[in-house]
């Protein structure tokens, strides 16, 4: 994947995450569910977070993980893991918890992964 499309901090973090050891699909699902639960639990108490964007990204991540075959090839697995790990990393290029734009970099990374995998149809009905 070409990371040059990202801002320098986003690129640095994405490149680092892309090089991490692969974890099982179950672990990815568990991490995603835990972060979604965390977002839901804070949705009424934090005013500087765009929860609509967060929910859209969560939906896209779920679609990505559901698009994985039973035995995914390494590239698809690695890129899906990158998207999920970037999303669940609250303190990434833009801190998710303290800015209305906090999830914009997450959306950019997840969308780029979807495009890279040729799954742009997932973007059509994400909401």
Given a cut of 70, whether residue 103 has pLDDT beyond it is yes
Give the other-Cβ count within 10 Å of 63's Cβ. Answer: 17
- Residues near 117 by Cβ (< 8 Å), separated by ≥ 6? 64, 67, 76, 79, 80
The mean pLDDT value of the chain amounts to 87
Given a cut of 90, whether residue 63 has pLDDT beyond it is yes
- How many residues are present in the chain? 127
Answer whether 0.75 is exceeded by the pTM.
Answer: yes
pLDDT on residue 41: 81
Q: Are 76 and 119 in contact (CB under 8 A)?
A: no
pLDDT on residue 59: 96
């Amino acid at each position: 994947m070409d990371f040059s499309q990202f801002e320098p901090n986003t690129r640095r973090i994405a490149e680092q995450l892309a090089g991490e050891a692969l974890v099982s699909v179950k672990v990815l699902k568990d991490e995603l569910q835990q972060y979604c639960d965390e977002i839901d639990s804070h949705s009424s108490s934090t005013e500087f977070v765009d929860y609509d964007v967060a929910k859209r990204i969560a939906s896209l991540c779920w679609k990505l993980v559901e698009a994985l075959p039973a035995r995914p090839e390494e590239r698809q697995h690695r890129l899906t893991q990158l998207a999920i790990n970037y999303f669940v990393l609250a303190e990434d290029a833009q801190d998710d918890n303290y800015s209305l734009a906090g999830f914009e970099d997450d959306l950019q990374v997840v969308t780029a992964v979807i495009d890279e995998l040729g799954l742009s149809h997932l973007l059509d009905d994400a909401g």
